Amino acid sequence: MTTAALYTRISRDSEKVGKGVARQRRECTELADRLGIKIVASYEDNDISASRYATRHRPEFKRMLADAEAGKFDVLLAWDLDRLIRLPADGEKLIDLNSQAGINIRTVSESIDLTTANGRLFLRIKVDVAAHESEHKSDRIKASHRDRILDGKPISGRTPFGWKRGGLELEPAEAALVAEGVAALLSGASVTSIAREWNQLERFGRVDKREDDTDEEKVSKPWVTASVKKTLRRWRNAGVLESNGEPLDGPSQITPIVSRADLEAVRAKLELQPSDTGRPLAKSWLSGVLVCEVCGEKMLPRKDYYQCSVSTERKRAASDTARHCAVKKSIAEHQVMMALYAEANERARAGGVEPADVAKVRQIEADLLEAQQDRAEFTGLLFVKGVDRRMVEARLAELDSTITALERARIENRTASSEAARIAELMQGDLSGNTFTGAWIDYFGSLTVEEKRDLARALPTITVRSGGKGPGRVDIPGHPYLDPAKIGTHLPPREPRPSIRVLKGADLLE
Tell me the per-residue pLDDT of 78-96, one tens digit each, with 9 for 90 and over: 888 888 887 888 888 888 8
User: How far, in Å, CA of 147 to CA of 154, rounded?
Assistant: 10
User: How far, in Å, CA of 265 to CA of 236, rounded?
Assistant: 15
The residues pairing with 475 across neighbouring beta strands, listed in sequence order, are 463
Look at residue 146 in the predicted model and tell me its pLDDT.
76
Half-sphere exposure of 185 (CA within 13 A, CB side): 30
Q: Are the CB atoms for 114 and 104 separated by under 8 Å?
A: yes
Residue 294, judged by CB atoms within 10 A of its CB (0-12, 13-18, 19+), counts as: middle
Give residue 290's pLDDT band: very low, low, confident or very high (50, 70, 90). very high
Q: What is the mean pLDDT of the chain?
A: 76
Give residue 178's pLDDT band: very low, low, confident or very high (50, 70, 90). very high
Q: How much is the average pLDDT of 46-67? A: 75
- Left, alpha or beta for 291 (phi > 0: left; psi -120 to 50: alpha)? beta
Give residue 317's pLDDT band: very low, low, confident or very high (50, 70, 90). low
State yes or no: pLDDT of 452 exceeds 80: yes
Residue type, 196: R
Parallel, antiparallel or unpaired: strands 220-221 and 205-206: antiparallel
Secondary structure (DSSP) of 222-259: ---HHHHHHHHT-GGGGT--EETTEE--S---PPPSS-
Q: How much is the average pLDDT of 358-382? A: 77
Parallel, antiparallel or unpaired: strands 75-78 and 3-10: parallel
Instruction: Give the range among 243-252, 353-362, 466-475 with minimum mean pLDDT.
Output: 353-362
State yes or no: pLDDT of 150 exceeds 80: no
Q: Are the CB atoms for 337 and 368 separated by under 8 Å?
A: no
User: How far, in Å, CA of 93 to CA of 446, rounded?
Assistant: 58
User: How far, in Å, CA of 181 to CA of 257, rounded?
Assistant: 11
Q: Residues spanned by CATH 3.40.50.1390 within the chain?
A: 3-146
User: How far, in Å, CA of 2 to CA of 493, rounded?
Assistant: 75
The residues pairing with 10 across neighbouring beta strands, listed in sequence order, are 46
Work out the angle between the directed axes of helices 260-271 and 225-232 (0-180°, nearest 10): 140
Q: How much is the average pLDDT of 297-323? A: 77
For the chain, the distance separating the N- and C-terminal CA atoms, rounded to the nearest angstrom, is 76
- Longest CA–CA separation in the chain, Å: 95
Q: How much is the average pLDDT of 448-466? A: 83
HEC profile of 428-457: CCCCCHHHHHHHHHHHHHCCCHHHHHHHHH
Contact residues for 174 (Cβ-Cβ < 8 A; gap 6+): 161, 162, 163, 203
Residue 452, judged by CB atoms within 10 A of its CB (0-12, 13-18, 19+), counts as: buried
State yes or no: pLDDT of 395 exceeds 80: yes
Look at residue 491 in the predicted model and tell me its pLDDT.
46
Look at residue 414 in the predicted model and tell me its pLDDT.
58
Query: Phi and psi (nearest 5°) for 184?
Result: -65, -45
Cα–Cα separations (whole angstroms), residue 112 to 101, 301, 477? 15, 61, 80
Q: How much is the average pLDDT of 403-418? A: 68
Q: Is 141 helix (H, G, I), strand (E, B) or coil?
A: helix
User: How far, in Å, CA of 257 to CA of 176, rounded?
Assistant: 8
Q: Is 468 helix (H, G, I), strand (E, B) or coil?
A: coil
CATH 3.10.180.10 fits 3-146, yes or no: no
Work out the angle between the directed axes of helices 172-186 and 191-200 (0-180°, nearest 10): 150
Look at residue 351 in the predicted model and tell me its pLDDT.
58
User: How far, in Å, CA of 145 to CA of 156, rounded?
Assistant: 8
Give, as one character, the DSSP assignment of residue 320. -
If one compares 174 and 248, the residue with the highest pLDDT of the two is: 174
Q: How much is the average pLDDT of 165-172? A: 86
User: How far, in Å, CA of 32 to CA of 52, rounded?
Assistant: 30
Q: How much is the average pLDDT of 112-128? A: 85
- Percentage of residues of the chain with pLDDT beyond 70: 74
Instruction: Give the range among 18-32, 301-315, 490-504 with minimum mean pLDDT.
Output: 490-504
User: How far, in Å, CA of 7 to CA of 237, rounded?
Assistant: 43
Give, as one character, the DSSP assignment of residue 479. B
Contact residues for 143 (Cβ-Cβ < 8 A; gap 6+): none
Residue 321, judged by CB atoms within 10 A of its CB (0-12, 13-18, 19+), counts as: exposed
**pTM higher than 0.75:** no
* pLDDT tens, residue by residue, 212-242: 444 434 456 788 888 898 899 899 899 888 8
Give, as one character, the DSSP assignment of residue 493. P
* pLDDT tens, residue by residue, 181-207: 998 888 767 788 888 888 888 776 654
State yes or no: pLDDT of 409 exceeds 70: yes
- Left, alpha or beta for 157 (phi > 0: left; psi -120 to 50: alpha)? left
Strand blocks (E) in 62-182: 75-78, 104-107, 111-112
State yes or no: pLDDT of 117 exceeds 50: yes
Look at residue 242 in the predicted model and tell me its pLDDT.
83
Parallel, antiparallel or unpaired: strands 246-247 and 242-243: antiparallel
User: How far, in Å, CA of 494 to CA of 331, rounded?
Assistant: 7
